[in-house]
Amino acid sequence: MLKVRLRSIDDLQHDMASLVAGILIVSYITRCTERAAAIFVSTIYCLAALPRTSDCLAATLSTRATDQTPPFIVDKLQSSQQSGTFTLDTRTVRRALLHVDLHANQGHSHGVRVEMQRIESPCGLQKVEDGRPRDHHKLRCAVHRSSLRAREVGKKLHAHGSKGTKAGDNLPGGTSAGGFTATVAAARGEYLATVRLGTPERVFSVIVDTGSDLTWVQCSPCGTCYSQNDSLFIPNTSTSFTKLACGTELCNGLPYPMCNQTTCVYWYSYGDGSLSTGDFVYDTITMDGINGQKQQVPNFAFGCGHDNEGSFAGADGILGLGQGPLSFPSQLKTVFNGKFSYCLVDWLAPPTQTSPLLFGDAAVPTFPGVKYISLLTNPKVPTYYYVKLNGISVGGKLLNISSTAFDIDSVGRAGTIFDSGTTVTQLAGEVHQEVLAAMNASTMDYPRKSDDSSGLDLCLGGFAEGQLPTVPSMTFHFEGGDMELPPSNYFIFLESSQSYCFSMVSSPDVTIIGSIQQQNFQVYYDTVGRKIGFVPKSCVGRG
């Protein structure tokens, strides 16, 4: 047993190097894990900082949930789940030991964490007259919303290169004409996060969307605003607020920059007819650091919306996590190094279960078995996270689909996208036909739910309480690694009809990996390293 006698702080600091060296030698001799060595080293560091020992030890000894068993029987291919292990880069610990004073001023070196809450769309909140459980109605709304988003992505890709649709001659707020509406995919992501803007800071709830770049909130005075739970952002109450000037790099980064005299104006029109327009502004954004300290970033550019039409599920605005120059990750690249990740809880989980959204070093996956795939560049549409998908297997058999069906074509259309704002995965037409045919052929033992109203193409019915179907395995073969889906990520159970429905639909040309298929994976984005990583993980709780 290793015993450490507490001495004075001066003595401990004097002996620090010897103690650390001794512990690492013992760890090597006894073949301790790197995790154990890191805990020993971190503990000694905590003892050297006695006023904060309790907090430090709590952070050192924290653990996470490691696995989750899907409620299905997978036929033909059984994927063995490795037990979760923990790794900790000892270089991080060494940096903390050597630069304790600097650590307090560089919270962003570890990153920030935001809890996302899944919200119902306005459609999903409509009253169900027949008194049945809401799941059918909610799923039908999600299918419709996802299909609409896919169509609008396709329209954007087809329309790119044209001059666009000219905006009205008299834009809101006295803006001079000369811009064009920038049609982007319908922003109906289902995950809500909080950010704090201004000085003094104010809290706002925004929809998290990897399919758009611009961050905006509703602002006062507001000519037209939809209803939201929080009060509007009031620019003249923030001492750090300022408007962007015309001709600045960020203003020119708007799809179609406009000016109101000398200040920058934005105009975003979403694919479903919703829009936001107003001043393009700077202010301080504040988030909570992993180390418990606030991370404040001045001069964050966002839209101060004075005319906002449509319904955004009662959110105060949008947090744009796309790849474009205006997005949150792009603007804070020097702070978070272009890194963020999320881990989405089950789509049918209660709203009290939140999904973590992490930025910076904290976003990097530490679980074993992470697969990394390269991000592709589509200069026609820089916002979306394109990847190379080579094929799809069902029941262990590679389907007869040309790899070009997943590719960006010569004019920038089609391709395969990761998108948290699309709920139900969209498969390009011919791809969906092959996948659906394989799923049908592999589930012939189960009756079809012919009267299903979910909007999905395949629903298996006739299940007694507690009975589970046997379904074929499904794998996405990306360039760089395979993504083996747990069955709950592609068959959704509907309590109201005791049926299981295949939760992927057909899209005109683009393939979008949606949030249901991403649930219970940690999905990691690295815009600097140009890659996406993913690893199975239980997303329940704060782990």
Task: Give catalytic residue positions.
Answer: 209, 419
Distance CA 243, CA 237 (A): 14
Q: What gap in Å lies between CA 269 and CA 276, rounded to an integer? A: 7
**Spatial CA neighbour of 414 closest among 406, 402, 426:** 406
Q: Which residues contact 58 (CB under 8 A, 6 or more apart)?
A: none
Distance CA 58, CA 359 (A): 21
Residue that the structure tokens 């104010």 belong to: 202
Instruction: Identify the residue whose tokens are 């592709």.
Output: 376
CA distance 358 to 524: 9
Which residue, 157, 376, 383, 197, is CA-closest to 287? 197
Contact, 344 vs 353, CB < 8 A? no
Q: How far apart are CA 345 and CA 489, in angstroms?
A: 11
Beta strands at 275-288 and 263-270: parallel, antiparallel or unpaired: antiparallel
Please give the full DSSP string across 436-481, using - where no structure is assigned. Answer: HHHHHHHTTTS-B-TT--SS-S-EE--PPTT---EEE-EEEEETTE
Cα distance between residue 463 and residue 460, in whole Å: 8
CA-to-CA distance for 152 and 211, rounded, in angstroms?
11
DSSP reduced 3-state for 267: strand
Q: Residue 82's closest CA among 301, 369, 292?
A: 369
The angle formed by the CA atoms of residues 415, 421 and 423, to the nearest 5 degrees, is 90
Contact status, residue 191 vs residue 116, Cβ threshold 8 Å: yes
Q: How far apart are CA 304 and CA 298, in angstroms?
A: 16
Residue whose tokens read 């889906």: 485
Angle between the 34-48 and 9-29 helix axes, to the nearest 10 degrees? 170
Give the 3-state secondary structure of residue 147. helix
